[in-house]
Chain A
Amino acid sequence: MKNLIKTRSFKNILYAIVLIVIAGILIFIKPGNTGDNQLPVKETVVSNNENTSEVTPGSSSGVIKEAKAMPVYGNWRNFTTKDGLPSDKAYTVRIDGDRVLVGTHGGMAVYEKGKWRTYTTEDGLAHNGVVSIDVSRLTGDVWIATFAGLNRWSGGKFETFNQFNSGLPNDLVYNVFCDGKDIWVATGGGAGHYDTFTKEWEIFTEMNAPMHEPWSYAVSAGDGKVWIAAWGGGVIEYTYETKHFRDYVDPDGFMEIDLQPDDGIIHDITTATSYADSILWVSTYFGMSRYDGKNWKGYFKEDSGLASNFINFLRAEGKVVFVCCDNGLSTFDGTTWVTYLKDDNSENGKAIITNGTEKKEVPLSPSIAHNFIIGVDAENDVLWVATSKGVSRGEIIR
């Protein structure tokens, strides 16, 4: 085991040396380079808010070749309380047709036709701390997870479910997911299932499911299954047809290092699950896992383009997974990574495209609002990101 760790550390050091050498070459050989004027073709995209980003669409580099399948977002526009958000601390974002729903520490904000509108407890929200939002594709109802209950928002009215007036497991609702007629929640008191047809609640905790404790962070569903990100319990998989559970836990146990690569989920403290294109993605505070139904694969900052191993949330759309880290936003399609980082001392930042060992940086001006990313949603050519210092909207620039 010690040898394994040593081997990995050695590899990391080697990578670092290579990177330093490359950086040195770039600095000394082409001083004053801004990262864009060195490319054979420069394309300028003008966004709605007239911010300008310069992108690098063409290159003979293998990185860029592979990356062509991966969307790169730019033209970032950032929104804060100055623009109408109730709080800069944004927890979640969800695109709902022509509008965007944002959960913040100070209520829910809805962006529609270029304007923000805020909803708080005065309007019927269970609590102003809105941490998760999902929209039922079936009914159009908006389900809102807050620090003190669950809301159904429909037709302009809020209906509140809490642990006192309903079968909701606990008022601390971290995540909500709509799966047809079924509404799933992850709460501080277990995972909950609400059948909107029968109006029946079910609660799943360590008492009746293979969970380590009731605390659940997130839930997602697809293809007749539900995956609960359970604190300390890995991923709990529920099958509708059989009503049976099974768990996916870290074969290495409760450790902060992944001793045996790709042997299973990388850690038992999971923060989110997301299922798309027959792939289950799982985030933890120690890296990300991918499960194709047969094999697990782990991803770490150290050996991939992942922004950070500390992952707050992730969402998969089609082949691409969007990973919300404590130090940047990463996107990944199984081959290519694109990680978005904001510079510490300016509004600018960059997109780092990584393909295997190859890496390319694309400057972005402006960049995302902050590097502490908590929520994300993508639809068509637009990406919305919830950060601890505002909400960002990006567009595909290539």
Chain B
Amino acid sequence: MSMNKIYKKISITAGVIIILGAITYPPFHRWSRSHVNYLTATEDHPLNCLSCHLPNQKDGIIAEMVNADYYSPFKLAISDDGKKLFAVAEEGNSLLIIDTEKKKVLDEIPVGIRPHSVVIDNDKNIAYVTNQWSDNVSVIDLNNNSVEYTLKTGNGPAGIELSSDKQFLYVVNSYSSDLSVFDLASGREQKRLTTGNNPTGITMSPDKSKLYITSRRALIAPYGDPVICQLSVVNDNNQRIAEYRDVESAYMMENIAFTPEGDLALIPLIRPKNLVPSIQVERGFIMTNGIGIIEQKPDGRILQLLLDEPNKYYADPFDIEITPDGKRAFVSHGGVDCISVIDLDSLRALIAVTSSEMLDHFSNHLGISTRFVIKRIPTGANPKGMVLSPDGKLLYVAEHLEDRIAVINTESLETVNTIDLGGPRRITVARHGRRLLNSAGHTFQTQYSCFTCHPDTHEDGLVYNMASKDMGRNLTNTQSLRNIGDTPPYKWNGKNQTVYKQDGLRFSTVLTRTEAFSYKELDAITAYIMTGIPNPPNLLHNPAGELTPAQQRGKAIFERTVDFKGNEIPEKNRCVTCHPAPYFTNKQMFDVGTLASSDDSILFDTPHLNNVFASPPYLHDGRAATLEEIWTLYGKTEQHGIVNDLTKIQLNELIEYLKSLRDPAYETKRTEKQLASMSHN
């Protein structure tokens, strides 16, 4: 073939392509514009296919290329001699051992899924790591840095502590809200003690007599009742509950620390203002952030003081450390990337000279922190766990979403070093989104982050009175973010059809009260959500995907088409109609007879049900404290399924089946990984 013919063919082909392109571009552009406008609920989001279709991939080669596996250090511990730092890598599923002098990672020991905390027995050279998503503790021999065996715990092990004689191990089960007590000699779990709701932190009192356990979620109570979060106190000698102490108007009490003298225990906490319409955000009327102060004397009070300032809030306080000389306390703030430094003598002086009534007033005082907070030390993204060197001169901070440990001089109060953990250097779009979700930077005066109401991308168990067109109407039970990428629409009224719309301009108007996310940020936060926020494995009610006989009978009730009197159940009244697998929602709007007189006349978005056992209270306004109450108290009209023909046994079985529902991710090959983590020696 001559060159002329080849040129001719190429020219014709190119011409055809150009003409076809010219013909198809306008309608394709219009379709793309319309598509993007629909998804984003705006008209000016840049048309860039790759900004969505690459980073939003959940599975496959593209997903593996655009995403990365990070360590995400969470909680820390240190050896008695201060030479070794132990960092729990939440997403690395490992324990990192770090040389504090060389500032490098010496070893990485694989543990279970989503490890949470670590405690070291320096005498025996053993590390105990809780694996929150494996329901066990990895027992690591630090002589050879290997997991020797695991201890089966309750659901969601988090905080961990040794008894005063180191013969027993206490493990806080954050999901089942109890405390496992292990006899280390036999390796057997002796008992479980009931704790407050969603406990996480645990520490031993300086006199070695009692253990204090913090809770994150408040007690379930009718809307309008005060928010109460419980502190559980356990006697170390008889391993029994000594008392539960109510911390009022507070929640998210993640951790606790004692002064060396033992006169005070301090707890970082959040004071939510969910019982009033969210109309005065500028006055702290959604969230304020502070510390609880537990006086350790007979009739000791529980005081609360804010760490916030009038124009600047310190969102999501997490961990607390107190220097060995009892002079300073450090509080990490995951939402604003900094550490608050508290002068404890000033704090004591303030308490000593102030009446209880005035201290009660101070619990909402945005200016009081100037009396005892002496510095805010900036950190990398999302500081979480901290630990002091044994001499108290250095503070190590786990920069959770920075994959880094910050080293702070406790005298100069400056960051003197950072320790890179060796994770990926690049920040993926989804990682960027995760940082945004954990940051209060886009909220008015950094008052709260998405994480605040959605801790661990779940929900905080509170019902809010959001400022809407008719103030005081439409109470809103916070919904989990887990699985939401696959379960549009959003909000109980289903008005937001996509994550883009949910987190876009409306979000800033109603919630953050500041400038909206940029489109790049919106892409990032959407990517984080769409790539999948999984539920923890349902190890409490459905560990291996095999339903118990009771759950199987409950499933039959869930899927039944005929009631026990032989009458056909109308399709709209069958459980499975609105709640089909795999997410157990048909993503449609429905009236289930729960509309309150204070609600607008709307239908409700059908919620997804995976891990529904972990999301009390229930219904759109949280009126049902338990799954049972959905039907025993609020299902009398039978609009929310036909249940009035059920015996109590059958209702229990239906509930047991509902509790068994779990994330579809665990029905795939990922299950194998999960099952492997669950093997208990």
Contacts and interface: CB of A to CB of B under 8 A. Distances in A.
A164 B632 contact: yes
Interface residues of A, number: 31
B192 A154 contact: no
Interface string B624-639: 0110110011000000
A197 B632 contact: no
A189 B540 CA distance: 27
Contacts of B655: 167
A138 B191 contact: yes
Interface in A141-166: 141, 152, 154-157, 159, 163-166
Given A165-B626, A197-B154, A203 B632 contact: no
A35 to B, nearest CB: 45
A155 B632 contact: no
A166 B655 CA distance: 10
B648 A189 contact: yes
Contact of B244 (A154, A166, A202): A154
Given A181-B192, A198-B540, A165 B628 contact: yes
A201 interface: yes
Contact of A139 (B176, B241, B629, B648): B241
A154 B632 contact: no
Interface in B171-196: 176, 178, 190-194
Interface in B533-551: 540-541, 550
A154 B626 contact: no
A205 B178 CA distance: 30
A167 B242 CA distance: 28
A210 to B, nearest CB: 15
Given A170-B648, A203-B649, A165 B632 contact: yes
Nearest to B656: A200
A200 B547 CA distance: 14
A13 interface: no
B647 interface: yes
A139 B240 contact: yes
Contacts of B633: 164
Interface string B649-681: 100100110000000000000000000000000
A140 B648 contact: no
Contacts of B193: 139, 141
Q: Name which of A163, A166, A190, A207 has the most chain B CB atoms within 10 A of its CB.
A: A166
A207 B244 contact: no
Contacts of A129: none
A196 interface: yes
B238 interface: yes
A141 B632 contact: no
Contacts of B194: 139, 141, 152, 154, 159, 196
B232 interface: yes
Interface string B544-574: 0000001000000000000000000000000
Contacts of B291: none
B243 interface: yes
Contact of B632 (A163, A189, A196): A163
Contacts of B540: 198-199
A24 to B, nearest CB: 58
A164 B176 CA distance: 21
Contacts of B192: 139, 181, 196-197
Contacts of A197: 154, 176, 192
A158 B176 CA distance: 18
Contacts of B656: 200
Q: Interface of chain B, helix or strand or loop or mixed?
A: mixed
B202 to A, nearest CB: 15
A155 B648 contact: no
Given A139-B240, A155-B244, A197-B192, A203 B629 contact: no
Contacts of B190: 138
Given A139-B193, A141-B194, A202-B550, A169 B240 contact: no
A167 B176 CA distance: 17
A207 B240 contact: no
B228 to A, nearest CB: 10
Nearest to A187: B648
A208 interface: yes
Interface string A281-313: 000000000000000000000000000000000
Contact of B238 (A140, A154, A155, A201): A140
Interface string A190-217: 1000001111111101011000000000
A163 B632 CA distance: 8
Interface in A54-95: none
Given A154-B241, A164-B628, A139 B191 contact: yes
B231 to A, nearest CB: 10
B233 A155 contact: yes
B151 to A, nearest CB: 14
Contacts of B238: 140
B648 A169 contact: yes
Contacts of B652: 167, 201-203
Contacts of B232: 155
Contacts of B241: 139-141, 154-155
B629 A208 contact: no
Nearest to B238: A140
A189 B647 CA distance: 10
Nearest to B220: A165
Contact of B242 (A141, A155, A164): A155
B648 A203 contact: yes
Contacts of B628: 164-167
A157 B649 contact: no
Contacts of A190: 648-649
Contacts of A181: 191-192
A99 to B, nearest CB: 13
Contact of A156 (B191, B244, B550, B625): B244
Contacts of B230: 157
A323 B247 CA distance: 46
A155 to B, nearest CB: 4
B154 to A, nearest CB: 7
Nearest to B633: A164
Contacts of B632: 163-165
A189 to B, nearest CB: 6
A181 to B, nearest CB: 7
B191 to A, nearest CB: 5
A30 to B, nearest CB: 55
A156 B541 CA distance: 30
B197 to A, nearest CB: 11
Nearest to B548: A200
A119 B448 CA distance: 41
Interface in A14-45: none
Nearest to A197: B192
Given A164-B629, A207-B649, 17 more contacts: A140-B241, A154-B241, A155-B243, A156-B244, A157-B230, A165-B626, A167-B628, A167-B648, A189-B648, A196-B192, A197-B192, A198-B541, A199-B540, A202-B550, A202-B652, A203-B648, A203-B652
19 contacts: A139-B241, A140-B238, A140-B241, A141-B194, A152-B194, A163-B632, A164-B628, A164-B629, A164-B633, A165-B632, A166-B628, A181-B191, A196-B178, A197-B154, A198-B541, A200-B541, A201-B652, A203-B652, A207-B647
Interface of A: 138-141, 152, 154-157, 159, 163-167, 169-170, 181, 189-190, 196-203, 205, 207-208
Interface of B: 154, 176, 178, 190-194, 230, 232-233, 238, 240-244, 540-541, 550, 625-626, 628-629, 632-633, 647-649, 652, 655-656
Across chains A and B, which 6 residue pairs bring their CB atoms closest together, nearest first? A140-B240, A155-B244, A155-B241, A164-B632, A167-B652, A155-B243
